[in-house]
């Protein structure tokens, strides 16, 4: 494992604001082989860091589907986060922390920073680009910005533009944070209690009715207080507040709201049509935040793509928890494409025209 930082000078945001000397923290596993093109680039979700071995075990790991023996795995912490990349708790040019005055960022800004990082690291092509949720939104934008460098694209529980339902959930979380009087004090731990409440709200969109019914079921039917679900919401809120900060949470949730691949382009459909990578799109049956119709829309408008759904009780969080189901889909997708590529090479050697 290697954790490093790279500096990107004069990075221009979609808004026109220029950030100077942007620090990008990233993790890599394995050895980059330019000839084999063994790069697997993972775009992480809202509150994750740049170490997928930590938050996506079995999918990534020494014995994982993506592993350092076969692949060069790279994941860069996103702009606006609090895990090493420039964000609200970074000092500005005056030596003061941005806090809630950090410039507005978008998923397109995140994708553009990934592209600048790729160039800085002298990575020519990416064999597999993977992203789920906010990570999938970044991956979509990046595959549109520079379609020729990606061979395979895997999109999980994501969409082409963020829905009013998703935006409403995010705004409810921000209202909780802003209602915490410490948020306005501009200090590192500002808005902590608000962040705890925000995480509780978020969990309702990440999980499903059936999932709560099973995991938080009460065997004592006479209970009138201290329910499992109550304790669970508080525990998850505290857990996030211990590792994240409210200012980054607000900035990143607003970036998610901004997601629209058609913005300042001809249309959403035309933008999706720019993607040239072989694409696997995965939806989760119980996902209320990113429902299956959003992934089907991607399938209809991304050429050379396939759609698969996985059945899960975990709702949107299935992209983190359903390792075996995801790996099965990854394996089928990549093996089928490898068969096509091998067949193409045989036919080309025989001077036979082959069109997939």
Would you please indicate which residues are annotated as catalytic (active-site) residues?
133, 287, 316
Q: How many other CB atoms sit within 10 Å of the CB of residue 230?
A: 12
Alpha-carbon gap, residue 340 to 355, rounded angstroms: 10
Give residue 323's Cα distance to chain centre: 16
Note every long-range contact of 306-311, with CB atoms under 8 Å and residues 24 or more positions apart, other chains counting. Answer: 306/279, 306/280, 306/281, 306/333, 307/281, 307/282, 307/283, 308/280, 308/281, 308/282, 308/283, 308/333, 309/282, 309/283, 309/284, 309/285, 310/282, 310/283, 310/284, 310/285, 311/285, 311/286
Contact 78, 85 (CB under 8 A): yes
């Amino acid at each position: 494992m290697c954790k490093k930082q790279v500096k990107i000078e004069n990075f221009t945001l979609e808004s026109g604001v220029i950030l100077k000397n942007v620090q990008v923290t990233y993790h890599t596993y394995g050895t980059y082989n330019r000839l084999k093109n063994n790069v697997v680039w993972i775009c992480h979700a809202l509150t994750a860091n740049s170490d997928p071995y930590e938050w996506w075990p079995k999918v990534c790991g020494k014995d994982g589907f993506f592993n350092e023996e076969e692949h060069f795995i790279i994941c860069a912490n996103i702009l606006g986060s609090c895990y090493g990349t420039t964000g609200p708790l970074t000092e500005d040019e005056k030596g003061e922390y941005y806090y809630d005055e950090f410039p507005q960022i978008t998923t397109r800004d995140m994708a553009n920073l990934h592209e600048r990082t790729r160039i800085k690291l002298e990575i020519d092509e990416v064999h597999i680009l993977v992203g789920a949720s906010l990570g999938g939104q970044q991956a979509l934008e990046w595959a549109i910005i520079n379609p020729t460098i990606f061979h395979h694209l895997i999109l999980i529980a994501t969409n082409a533009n963020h829905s009013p339902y998703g935006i409403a959930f995010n705004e409810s979380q921000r209202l909780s944070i802003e209602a915490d009087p410490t948020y306005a004090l501009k200090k590192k731990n500002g808005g902590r209690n608000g962040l705890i409440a925000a995480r509780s709200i978020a969990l309702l969109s990440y999980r499903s009715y059936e999932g709560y019914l099973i995991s938080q079921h009460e065997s004592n039917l006479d209970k009138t207080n201290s329910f499992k679900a109550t304790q669970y919401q508080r525990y998850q809120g505290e857990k996030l507040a211990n590792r994240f900060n409210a200012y980054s949470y607000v900035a990143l949730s607003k970036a998610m709201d901004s997601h629209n691949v058609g913005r300042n382009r001809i249309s959403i459909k035309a933008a999706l049509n720019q993607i040239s990578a072989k694409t696997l799109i995965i939806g989760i049956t119980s996902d209320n935040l990113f429902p299956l119709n959003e992934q089907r829309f991607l399938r209809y408008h991304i050429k050379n793509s396939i759609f698969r759904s996985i059945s899960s009780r975990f709702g949107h969080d299935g992209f983190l928890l359903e390792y075996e189901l995801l790996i099965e889909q990854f394996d089928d997708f990549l093996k089928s494409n490898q068969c096509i590529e091998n067949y193409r090479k045989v036919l080309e050697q025989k001077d036979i025209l082959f069109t997939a």
